Every structure is written in structure tokens, then in C-alpha cells.
């Protein structure tokens, strides 16, 4: 039997669950805002729908059949299966890592990545593509993304920061030990 660490259910369940719910609600809101069905991605991966919100931000409905930023969006059915299985495997691997992790920043980062993988995985399994709608192309960022993508990006940045901070702490501890 696997022993779960203290607070595992928060980091591995409650927090990612809340983010997944928020992600799915925002995707549903976006498709409703455009007046289309959430399963539009089955028939039209690039519906070309856009609503200008401000000089900096627009809503733009894009159905991403690939991975991050539309990469590998070739064969839709094969991509759907491969990326869905990959996301499921990654979630399991990240949950195992999370169960062993003691650092709070790393735990938060892993929770964000898990939530993003699940949120986009739900879209991929149900609709064949991930619903993206946040568009900052007016300021030069050409990719359209969603809440799950944001969670993954912030989570990866958090992991990098945690590794940097842990490396610094280890270096400092080694220097302190060497002085004694």
C-alpha cells in the first residue's frame, strides 16, 4: 500500500481540482461567448472567431489539436490518442513525485502542472482538441492559450525557481560545512 504524505490531498487533489474546474468553466464561458458548441473542435479546428476586448487583449477561439502552441497538430485522431495517453502518464508520474516532495514551492508547481495536464486532457478526450481563447497578439504574443496552459507555464517556472533556490541553499550549506 502506498503511504501518502501529509497534505497530499490538498496538493494533489483539492488545488488541481479547483484549477481544473475553473479551466473548464472558462472554456465553456468562452464557447458560449462566441455562441458555438463546446464540441466545435470536432468539425472546425480554426473557427476564426475573435472578439476585441481591449487594445492589449482579445478573445479568439482556437481549437488546438497539437500540444503547446499548436505543435504536432498533424494527424488529429492519432494525436488525440497519443497526447491523451501521454498526459495521463505524466499526471501519474507527477503525482508520485508530488507524494515524495517536501518543498512547498515545488509542490505548488507540480499541482499547477497536474491541473493543466488534466484540464487540457479533458478537452482532448471529449472534443479531440484543446479549446484556447486568451489572445494577446496585439502586444506581440502570437499564441492563443487557456487557463490550463497558464497553469502549466507558471508551474514550470515555479519548478525552475524551486530548483534554483534549492541549488543555492545546498551550495550555501556546503560552503558553511567547508568553513568548519
Residue 69's pLDDT is what? 46
Closest residue by Cα to residue 94 from 158, 143, 27: 158
Reply yes or no on whether the pLDDT at 53 is more than 50. Answer: yes
Number of domains in the chain: 1
Residue 153 lies in a domain: yes
Could you report the per-residue pLDDT of 6-28, keeping only the tens digit for each? 899 999 999 999 999 999 999 99
Reply yes or no on whether the pLDDT at 38 is more than 80. Answer: no
Helical H runs in the chain? 8-9, 15-33, 76-100, 104-127, 147-179
Residue 154 lies in a domain: yes
Reply yes or no on whether the pLDDT at 180 is more than 60. Answer: yes
Residue 114 lies in a domain: yes
Given the residues 103, 123, 138, 149, the one annotated as active site: 149
Model-level pTM? 0.86
Q: What is the mean pLDDT of residues 117-130?
A: 90
Residue 2 lies in a domain: no
Grid cell at residue 161: 525557481
| Known active-site residue 23 | no
Residue 105 lies in a domain: yes
Angle at 137 (CA atoms; ends 158, 145), nearest 5 degrees: 45
Residue 180 lies in a domain: no
Residue 76 lies in a domain: yes
Q: Which domain holds residue 89?
A: 8-175
- Greatest alpha-carbon pair distance for the chain in Å reads 69
Given the residues 58, 132, 138, 178, the one annotated as active site: 132
| Known active-site residue 149 | yes
Residue 3 lies in a domain: no
Amino acid at each position: 500500500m502506498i503511504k501518502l504524505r501529509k497534505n497530499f490531498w490538498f496538493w494533489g487533489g483539492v488545488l488541481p481540482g479547483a484549477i481544473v474546474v475553473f479551466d473548464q468553466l472558462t472554456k465553456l464561458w468562452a464557447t458560449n461567448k462566441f455562441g458555438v458548441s463546446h464540441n466545435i473542435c470536432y468539425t472546425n479546428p480554426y473557427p476564426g472567431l475573435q472578439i476585441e476586448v481591449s487594445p492589449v487583449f482579445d478573445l479568439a477561439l482556437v481549437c488546438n489539436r497539437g500540444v503547446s502552441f499548436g505543435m504536432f497538430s498533424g494527424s488529429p485522431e492519432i494525436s488525440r490518442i497519443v497526447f491523451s495517453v501521454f498526459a495521463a502518464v505524466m499526471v501519474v508520474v507527477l503525482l508520485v513525485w508530488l507524494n515524495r516532495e517536501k518543498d512547498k514551492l515545488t509542490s505548488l508547481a507540480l499541482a499547477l502542472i497536474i491541473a493543466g495536464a488534466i484540464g487540457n486532457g479533458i478537452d482532448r478526450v471529449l472534443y479531440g482538441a484543446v479549446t484556447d481563447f486568451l489572445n494577446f497578439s496585439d502586444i506581440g504574443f502570437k499564441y492563443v492559450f487557456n487557463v490550463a496552459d497558464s497553469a502549466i507555464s507558471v508551474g514550470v517556472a515555479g519548478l525552475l525557481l524551486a530548483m534554483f533556490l534549492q541549488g543555492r541553499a545546498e551550495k550555501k550549506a556546503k560552503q558553511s560545512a567547508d568553513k568548519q
